[in-house]
């Protein structure tokens, strides 16, 4: 039962994270193609955004590790 | 494949304090590696650079400088230059050090001795807490106690509980992001090693995804070190600049 919960948690976390990061990167590519000279600042903003988005699924992954190994 | 961890328990005022000895060992080793990298790279620096080593060091220093100037003015942020430089190198080394190989002692619990120190939540949450406490210190020092307290009640007073809670969220996400990335990577590496060692001929092909994953993990190590330092600088600039 725990393994099922781990699978669901990790899968949903991966789904949400990939959608979110995909949106961020696609908008960054759009911005760079409109304004190629703004590539440097846009890239660093993109990485900050990815970092912020990624924190939530990573917490879900940590919780699924806890479910797998501790209970 | 389960690994035991070498624990050392210390009784202090009736409270048990548990040290994980492998983490302590790896923190010392990665600090030494970071020190040696800079000591060897900066051994003979000249005004006119002669070798590639100094060029590489200058690129790194300028990169960190660019990260700071992207967030705050150099007059305010210049004093965080060496902090950011040390932090980004240390976290990168600490993430990287568990990738090439691992060492588990050949006892019955297969105690894990060589790993990334950042694959331990204690280390990453401590680093994050240190950084967050430092942002508060510099916030008070740069803006004064009155402005620092007032910044919690901007733009309206009922934002204060949320802003107070936000500081703990910063700490939690900053630490757990680094821990989760490194630990998940190490778990996947362990699983792939178990697959390769499982004995069947076809499973030996598992070394191909292992090499690919190791290369990707080097990339992740760099990105995570970058994000940790970048977010630390963003939080510092939120605290010390008056326009927020």
Of A44, A52, A55, the CB nearest to B70: A44
Q: Map B129-146 to HEC letters.
A: HHHHHHHHHHHHHHHHHH
Strand residue runs (E) in B23-148: 103-104, 112-114
* Confidence (pTM): 0.86
Q: For B16-36, what is each residue's pLDDT tens digit?
A: 888 888 889 999 999 999 999
- Biggest CA-to-CA distance, chain A: 52
State the smallest CA–CA distance between residue B226 and chain A in angstroms.
Answer: 9
Average pLDDT on B135-162 reads: 87
> With contact defined as beta carbons under 8 Å apart, do B182 and B118 qualify?
yes
Of B67, B180, B231, the CB nearest to A62: B180
Q: For A4-17, what is each residue's pLDDT tens digit?
A: 999 999 899 999 99
State the smallest CA–CA distance between residue A59 and chain B in angstroms.
Answer: 7
**Token representation of residue B233:** 């600088």
ipTM, 2 dp: 0.73
Query: Given a cut of 70, is residue B2 above it in pLDDT?
Result: no
* Residue B105 contacts A, CB cutoff 8 Å: no
Query: Given a cut of 70, is residue B243 above it in pLDDT?
Result: no
Average pLDDT on B168-173 reads: 88
* Residue B183 contacts A, CB cutoff 8 Å: yes
- Measure the CA angle with vertex B164, ends B161 and B165; round to 5°: 85
Q: pLDDT averaged over chain A?
A: 87
Average pLDDT on B96-105 reads: 82
CA nearest to B102, candidates B221, B187, B204, B200: B187
Contacts of B191 (CB under 8 A, 6+ apart): B1
> With contact defined as beta carbons under 8 Å apart, do A42 and A32 qualify?
yes
- Measure the CA angle with vertex A64, ends B216 and B167; round to 5°: 85
State the smallest CA–CA distance between residue A53 and chain B in angstroms.
Answer: 10
Strand residue runs (E) in chain B: 7-12, 15-20, 103-104, 112-114
Per-residue pLDDT, B199 = 76
Q: For B36-89, what is each residue's pLDDT tens digit?
A: 999 988 887 778 877 888 888 999 999 999 889 888 888 888 899 999 999 999
Per-residue pLDDT, B83 = 93
Of A44, A48, A58, the CB nearest to B181: A58
Query: Given a cut of 80, is residue B105 above it in pLDDT?
Result: no
Per-residue pLDDT, B49 = 76
List of chain A residues whose C-beta atoms are within 8 Å of the C-beta of residue B70: 41, 44
| CA separation for the pair B118, B94 (Å, rounded) | 6
* Residue B180 contacts A, CB cutoff 8 Å: yes
Q: Can you list the residues of chain A whose pLDDT is less than 70?
A: 71
Q: pLDDT averaged over chain B?
A: 86
* Residue B67 contacts A, CB cutoff 8 Å: yes
Q: If you count DSSP H runs as helices and E runs as strands, how many of each does chain A have, helices first? A: 2, 0
Residue B67 or B105, more confident: B67
**Token representation of residue B65:** 């400088």
Per-residue pLDDT, B80 = 92
* Residue B188 contacts A, CB cutoff 8 Å: no
**Token representation of residue B16:** 């048990």
**CB neighbours of residue B80 within 10 Å:** 23
Per-residue pLDDT, A71 = 67
Give the chain B residue whose CA is nearest to the CA of A41. B70
Per-residue pLDDT, A51 = 78
List of chain A residues whose C-beta atoms are within 8 Å of the C-beta of residue B226: 47
pLDDT band, very low/low/confident/very high, at B176 (cuts 50, 70, 90): confident
Residue B186 or A55, more confident: B186
Residue of A14, A45, A51 for testing the chain B interface, max B β-carbons within 10 Å: A51
Q: How far is CA A11 from CA A55, A57, A71, B107, in A?
A: 15, 10, 20, 35
Give the chain A residue whose CA is nearest to the CA of B223. A47
Average pLDDT on B205-231 reads: 89
State the smallest CA–CA distance between residue B179 and chain A in angstroms.
Answer: 9
* Residue B205 contacts A, CB cutoff 8 Å: no
Domains of chain A: 1-70 (1.20.20.10)
| CA separation for the pair B22, B220 (Å, rounded) | 23
* Residue A54 contacts B, CB cutoff 8 Å: yes
- Measure the CA angle with vertex B228, ends B226 and B230; round to 5°: 65
Give the chain A residue whose CA is nearest to the CA of B174. A55
The alpha carbon dihedral of A38, B76, A51, B30 has a sign of positive
| CA separation for the pair B143, B237 (Å, rounded) | 12
């Amino acid at each position: 039962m725990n393994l099922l919960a781990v699978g669901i948690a990790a899968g949903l976390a991966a789904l949400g994270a990939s959608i979110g990061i995909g949106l961020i990167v696609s908008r960054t590519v759009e911005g760079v193609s409109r304004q190629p000279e703004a590539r440097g600042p846009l890239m660093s903003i993109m990485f900050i955004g990815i970092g912020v988005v990624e924190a939530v699924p990573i917490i879900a992954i940590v919780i699924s590790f806890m479910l797998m190994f501790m209970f | 494949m389960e690994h035991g961890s070498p624990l050392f328990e210390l009784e202090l005022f009736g409270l048990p304090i548990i040290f994980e000895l492998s983490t302590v060992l790896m923190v010392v080793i990665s600090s030494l590696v970071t020190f040696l990298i800079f000591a060897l790279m900066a051994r003979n620096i000249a005004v006119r650079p002669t070798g590639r080593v100094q060029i590489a060091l200058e690129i790194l220093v300028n990169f960190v400088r660019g990260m700071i100037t992207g967030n705050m003015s150099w007059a305010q942020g210049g004093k965080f230059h060496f902090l950011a430089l040390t932090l980004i190198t240390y976290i990168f080394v600490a993430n990287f050090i568990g990738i090439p190989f691992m060492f588990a002692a050949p006892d019955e619990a297969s105690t894990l001795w060589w790993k990334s120190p950042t694959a331990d939540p204690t280390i990453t949450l401590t680093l994050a807490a240190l950084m967050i406490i430092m942002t508060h210190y510099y916030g008070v020092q740069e803006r004064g106690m009155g402005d620092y307290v007032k910044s919690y009640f901007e733009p309206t007073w009922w934002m204060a509980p949320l802003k107070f809670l936000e500081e703990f969220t910063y700490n939690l996400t900053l630490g757990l992001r680094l821990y989760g990335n490194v630990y998940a990577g190490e778990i996947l590496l362990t699983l792939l090693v178990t697959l390769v060692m499982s004995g069947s001929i076809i499973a030996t092909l598992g070394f191909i995804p292992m090499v690919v994953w190791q290369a990707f993990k080097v990339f992740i190590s760099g990105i995570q070190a970058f994000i940790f330092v970048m977010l630390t600088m963003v939080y510092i600039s939120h605290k010390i600049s008056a326009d927020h």
